Each structure stands twice: as structure tokens, then as C-alpha cells.
Amino acid sequence: MYDIIIIGGGPAGLTAALYALRAEKSVLVLEKMGLGGQIALTDRVENFPGIAEISGFDFAEALSGQVKSLGGEIKYENVVEIRPGKEKIVVTPKNEYTAKSVIIATGVKNRLIGAEGEEKLIGRGISYCAVCDGSFYRGKTVAVIGGGNTALQDAEYLSQIATKVYLIHRRSEFRAEERLVRKLKTLENVEFLLNTTVERFCGDQKLSGLDLISTSDGKTRHIDLDGAFVAVGKVPQNEGFKGLVSLSDGGYVVAGEDCLTSVEGIFAAGDCRIKDVRQLTTAVGDGSVAALAASKYIDEKFA
């Protein structure tokens, strides 16, 4: 019997573990792949308060080291089911674990466009967060790929930093709000490339450009770039909890700033929950809130 089982070993989950352990609760973290989540793939982190610069990998290593030093247990197993009740049963293909409380911190994964070279160059010129990584491209040439509100907002943001911004969309019209389209049309350093898809992300160790193809006539072209920002959506990792906790239409766990889900004793933290801002700082904030809420729940329910 664990006091708290945390599903997910990203910044939210590891911070939750840290706070729960400091509250003298027994903790098991279950992570299906690797500790750190998406931040571990980030080359540089420069927007975390108090740390001028650190690699995402080093940040994840430091945070997981804190958890282990306090006696937290970490296992690499994929959670396939949670059985509710006063005591929760967390099921993996290998084992069943019992806990007084559960924190879901499974995060999201970026929706890839599937072009050649994309996975190889993630974090090496390809980013999925303009706010996180845009400052690295001051005075340089970048592209934003996508046609929704996020893509156009990213392009506007980057236009204030980069010398040149290409906005690449596979259709003839954007799905974004018309006011965003009108705004971008007034910016001299933003160029629209409509009816265009990315055939290849070019570069060996670092992105150097894109091979593009027209969806209207099949013609190809190459553009040289310093960075590319993919903005075609994110996918929450909550498939295994459908029917257990309330999910939004987009698949995010319905939980407010208190991190409470629709099921007593089950909390959600980080990017997997419905929220407006998904950043490293908000993830660790969620982790602390969820851990303290879970600890309070245990103290009251199992006194």
C-alpha cells in the first residue's frame, strides 16, 4: 500500500513526488518511457525562475535525483487502468499496485506532421513551443507550420524576434480567427506559404532548411532556415482514463487549479489537465498543488 501513486515522470509528476515525500507520504512514480517528459528533449531551458540556463535533460536528472534522495520509488511501467474505490488499484501489464490516492500527470505528446527528418531533429532546430524556444532565434529565419490559432499566434510572437517568419499551411485558407490572419498580413517579415506541405526537414545534427511541396501543382522548393516551429496540436496521454475521470472533448482531464478530478482521491497535474497555459513553470506548480491536495485528502480520509 502506497500513500500516493503518481502516473507520469515529467516535471509535474516528479514535483508532485517531491512535495508528497516532504509531507512524509510514501510515493511510487510509474513512468512508461523516460523521466523528464518532453522537457528532457529540450536542448536549453532559459525561462525557469532562478536558473539562467540548463539543459532539459539535466533539469530532469536533478529533479528525479531529489525524488530518489528522499526515498521516492520510481518504476518504468505503463499504467493501463485505475480501479476506483477508497483504495485505488493501479494496473500495469506487469503488476497491480494499491494506493490511498492517485495523481495523473501523464502530460501530452506533440502531434508530429510525419515528414522525413522530423523526429531526428526535435530539439535541434525543431520546436513545438514558440514561447519556450523563440528567444533562441533572435535575428534569424524561422518557419511556423500549421493553420490554427496557435500557429498564427506563434508566427506573430516570432515576428517580433526573428528577422523572417514563414507561415506554412497545407490548405488555401487558415482555420484561425480572421483577426489573426489580418494582423499577420500587416507584418512585413511574415510570408504565407499556403497550399504547401513539408516533405523533409533538412540537416544532419541541426536543422538547416525545409523541402516543401505544393498541394496544388506538386512543385517543390527548398527554403533555408535556422528553426522550425510545429503547431499542429498536442495529444493528451489520457486514453486509459476514459470512463473513469471526466475528460474534455479534446481528451484533457477536467480539473481546475485545485487539481481535483471528478473522482474522489484522484488528482491531475500538468499538461494532461484542461488549462490555458502549458509551460514548465505551470507543470511544477500543478505538481505541488496536487501533492498537497492528495496529502490533505489522505490525512482526512484515512485518519
Q: Catalytic residue numbers? A: 129, 132-133
H-state helical runs in the chain: 11-22, 56-69, 130-133, 149-159, 178-185, 280-301
Contacts (Cβ under 8 Å, ≥6 apart) of 299: none
Which amino acid, residue 1? M
Contact 222, 196 (CB under 8 A): no
Residue type, 191: E
Query: Residue 68 is which amino acid?
Result: K
| C-alpha distance from residue 122 to each of 139, 227, 274 (Å) | 21, 10, 25
Q: What's the residue count for the chain?
A: 303
**What is the gyration radius of the CA atoms in the chain, in angstroms?**
21
Measured from the Cβ of residue 199, the count of other Cβ atoms closer than 10 Å reads 16
Cα–Cα distance between 158 and 97 in angstroms, integer?
46
- What gap in Å lies between CA 303 and CA 298, rounded to an integer? 7
Which three-class secondary structure state does DSSP give residue 143? strand
What letter would DSSP give residue 164?
A: E
218-222 long-range contacts (CB < 8 A, ≥24 apart) are none
